[in-house]
Amino acid sequence: MRHLVIVLGDQLNRDSLALKGFKKDRDAVWMAEVEEEATYFKQHKLRIAYFFACMRAFRDELEERDFEVVYHALTVDRAEDRGRSFREVLRNDVEEHEPKRLIVVQPGDHRVLVALQAEAESLGLPLEVREDRRFLCSTEEFDAWADGRPGGLLMESFYRHMRKTLDVLMDGDEPAGGKWNLDHDNRESFSASDPPPSGLGPSRFEPDWVTEEVIDLVAGRFADHPGRLEHFTLPVSAKGAKRMLQDFIARDLPKFGMYEDAMWDGEDFLYHSRISAPLNLGLIDPRDCLKHAVQAYEKGAAPLNSVEGFVRQILGWREFVRGVYWRFMPEYAERNHLDAHADLPAFYWTGETDMACVAGAMRSVIDHGYTHHIQRLMVLGNLALNLGVHPLRFHEWHVEMYLDSVDWASLPNTLGMSQYGDGGVVGTKPYCASGNYISKMSNYCSNCRYDPKQSAGENACPQTVFYWDFLARHEDRFRKNHRMKFQIANVRRKRDKGELPATQCRADELRDEWGVGGAA
């Protein structure tokens, strides 16, 4: 009985359960580059190129290992497509190859799972959905953990549970070093007298000829998409990705922790690993990330604050958001707790703005399809939150523009954590800050025409203006949240001093100027 094993663009791990039991004399792997995946949100050119280049490298590797691969490569000419979507291309291939069963690992996108299930049903074929072994906590294990917590899901409790269960960075029953969380040590910033050394950043990889072909294809076929293709420096194979991880552990992990939240104009990576894209496509196994980081700590090659911060991202945050995604989808995507309805300003695609922090972060997005987490959360996310952008719009933009943003990862991080659209499932309070935070953590403000301390008038910093406007709009709602106590007390003081009307007037002017429509 012939099986067709579907391998999606973000499922490129060699040890995938999709390939378990594969009979080389009978079965075939099915992979397809399709128009719909690149355009259902109009995706960054580099994102499309990265997915296609990694998919082609994986195809070549499978073929070298004697797997039969039915692979659909797009060309510049749309008339040559065998279909627009997974469903259309799959339908044609089922007619041709006559499989008796379809197999897939649980897709990272609910939309894709539903589409494949619907197509299998209309073809009258069984679809076997297998577990994704790239996650250390299965969806069933997550649900069992979450069911025992009717009061709410705290990432920190989940993280401790995972550390204990998998015995990572543990000293018997206690956390290594005595503390679960060393975030307090991870808030250093750079300054003009102590800037980051130049030349920081992860290892870079030259595109091979297969990648060059993909770059030409994307440049020709998706010419009107956002982003640039000039900086293709990521590894496309597991071998390269492993080297990238090891270089990070040896070179950047020691200082990763202390400068985790710092930003510096023109330095897009600092001590960050940038492994999120190859990790989310399956080129790196999270177990390797944990193993190498913990070994570095045990050898004394990296301090605990760095290693713990990294472990928390991989074992805590990544697993947690994936569990939340599958627990609450599809209803989760429709949440809009703050009733926010504004659009994103055009500069979220072009980077053309006088706001130095936004322009700096957007240049990195346009060049690399990447910014590190503080630029996402506290510069681009913060402005969108305070402006009252629809949380699903923000997620869509994030999927369009970031290489690492597969649906399971993006939705809880953007709609939930960044935009507080889920009303506190992922975060316990909205991540909102004024320009003062950006001023403390970066040098952006010294190169900006705005003043982070001013909240009214032409020179007022828009991050600050919208921060106060946001708090004023939601004062009643946030009064009940004890973690917002100080911020609510501050906005009240500002109201009492009569300072709010000028700020709100400036917020309205900026909203009009940016053409984003109404906020909540």
Using CB under 6 A as the criterion, which residues of the chain lie in contact with ligand SF4 when the complex forms? Answer: 355-357, 435, 438-439, 444-445, 448, 450, 452, 461-463
112 contacts ligand DLZ (rule: CB under 6 A)? yes
Q: Which does 382 bind (CB under 5 to 8 A by kind): ligand SF4, ligand DLZ, none?
A: none
Q: Which does 439 bind (CB under 5 to 8 A by kind): ligand SF4, ligand DLZ, none?
A: ligand SF4
3-state SS class at 327: helix
The one among 8, 262, 307, 516 contacting ligand DLZ by CB under 6 A:
8
Asked if 135 and 322 count as a contact pair (C-beta separation under 8 A), the reply is yes
Residue 461's nearest CA partner among 471, 441, 446, 478 is 446
433 contacts ligand DLZ (rule: CB under 6 A)? no
Q: Which does 356 bind (CB under 5 to 8 A by kind): ligand DLZ, ligand SF4, none?
A: ligand SF4
Residue 418 beta carbon to ligand SF4: minimum distance, rounded to whole angstroms = 17
119 contacts ligand DLZ (rule: CB under 6 A)? no
Residue 167 beta carbon to ligand SF4: minimum distance, rounded to whole angstroms = 43
396 contacts ligand DLZ (rule: CB under 6 A)? no
Span from 7-15, 59-67, 157-165, 378-386 in contact with ligand DLZ (CB under 6 A) = 7-15
The one among 12, 30, 51, 62 contacting ligand DLZ by CB under 6 A:
51
- Sequence-distant (≥ 6) Cβ neighbours of residue 461 within 8 angstroms: 355, 434, 435, 445, 448, 450, 451, 452, 453, 454, 455
Site of tokens 């018997």? 172
Q: Which does 34 bind (CB under 5 to 8 A by kind): ligand SF4, ligand DLZ, none?
A: ligand DLZ
Please report, as residue ranges, which positions from 9 to 48 form the binding site for ligand DLZ (by CB under 6 A): 9-10, 32-34, 37-38, 43, 48
Quote the distance between the C-alpha of residue 212 and its chain's center.
25
- Sequence-distant (≥ 6) Cβ neighbours of residue 70 within 8 angstroms: 4, 28, 29, 30, 31, 93, 97
445 contacts ligand DLZ (rule: CB under 6 A)? no
Q: Which does 435 bind (CB under 5 to 8 A by kind): ligand DLZ, ligand SF4, none?
A: ligand SF4
Q: Which does 32 bind (CB under 5 to 8 A by kind): ligand DLZ, ligand SF4, none?
A: ligand DLZ
Residue 102 beta carbon to ligand DLZ: minimum distance, rounded to whole angstroms = 14
Span from 63-71, 105-113, 171-179, 452-460 in contact with ligand DLZ (CB under 6 A) = 105-113
Residue 18 beta carbon to ligand DLZ: minimum distance, rounded to whole angstroms = 12
For residue 485, CA distances in Å to 334, 430, 490 come to 28, 12, 9
Site of tokens 């709410």? 152
Which pairs with CB-CB distance under 8 Å and at least 24 residues apart come from 474-477?
Answer: 474/338, 474/520, 477/338
How many Cα atoms sit within 13 Å of 242 on the Cβ side? 8
Residue 335 beta carbon to ligand DLZ: minimum distance, rounded to whole angstroms = 21
Q: Which does 127 bind (CB under 5 to 8 A by kind): ligand SF4, ligand DLZ, none?
A: none
Residue 454 beta carbon to ligand DLZ: minimum distance, rounded to whole angstroms = 41
Span from 106-114, 193-201, 322-330, 428-436 in contact with ligand DLZ (CB under 6 A) = 106-114
Q: Cα separation of 108 and 329, whole Å?
A: 12
Q: What is the CA radius of gyration of the chain?
A: 23
**Angle between helix 209-221 and helix 45-64 axes, rounded to 10 deg:** 140
261 contacts ligand DLZ (rule: CB under 6 A)? no
By beta carbon distance, the residue nearest ligand DLZ is: 9
Q: Are strands 170-171 and 174-175 parallel, antiparallel or unpaired?
A: antiparallel
Tell me the H-state helices in 336-461. Answer: 347-350, 356-368, 373-374, 382-387, 391-401, 407-411, 435-441
Residue 154 beta carbon to ligand SF4: minimum distance, rounded to whole angstroms = 30
Span from 15-23, 107-115, 121-129, 337-345 in contact with ligand DLZ (CB under 6 A) = 107-115
In the complex with ligand DLZ, the residue whose CB is nearer, 109 or 396, is 109
Q: Cα separation of 484 and 298, whole Å?
A: 39
Residue 410 beta carbon to ligand DLZ: minimum distance, rounded to whole angstroms = 10
Asked if 272 and 249 count as a contact pair (C-beta separation under 8 A), the reply is no
Residue 60 beta carbon to ligand DLZ: minimum distance, rounded to whole angstroms = 16
Q: Cα separation of 184 and 193, whole Å?
A: 23
Residue 358 beta carbon to ligand SF4: minimum distance, rounded to whole angstroms = 7
Q: Which residues of 357-391 are buried (b: 16+ CB within 10 A; e: fewer)?
A: bbbbbbbbbbbbbbbbbbbbbbbbbbbbbbbbbbb
**In the chain, what's the furthest Cα-to-Cα distance?**
79
In the complex with ligand DLZ, the residue whose CB is nearer, 159 or 397, is 397
Q: Which does 321 bind (CB under 5 to 8 A by kind): ligand SF4, ligand DLZ, none?
A: none
Q: Cα separation of 474 and 484, whole Å?
A: 11
In the complex with ligand SF4, the residue whose CB is nearer, 249 or 438, is 438
Q: Which does 448 bind (CB under 5 to 8 A by kind): ligand SF4, ligand DLZ, none?
A: ligand SF4
For residue 318, CA distances in Å to 66, 135, 282, 468 come to 34, 9, 14, 31
In the complex with ligand SF4, the residue whose CB is nearer, 403 or 448, is 448
* AA identity, residue 217: L
Asked if 4 and 103 count as a contact pair (C-beta separation under 8 A), the reply is yes
Please report, as residue ranges, which positions from 400 to 419 form the binding site for ligand DLZ (by CB under 6 A): 406
Residues that bind ligand DLZ (CB under 6 A): 8-10, 32-34, 37-38, 43, 48, 51, 107-109, 112, 406
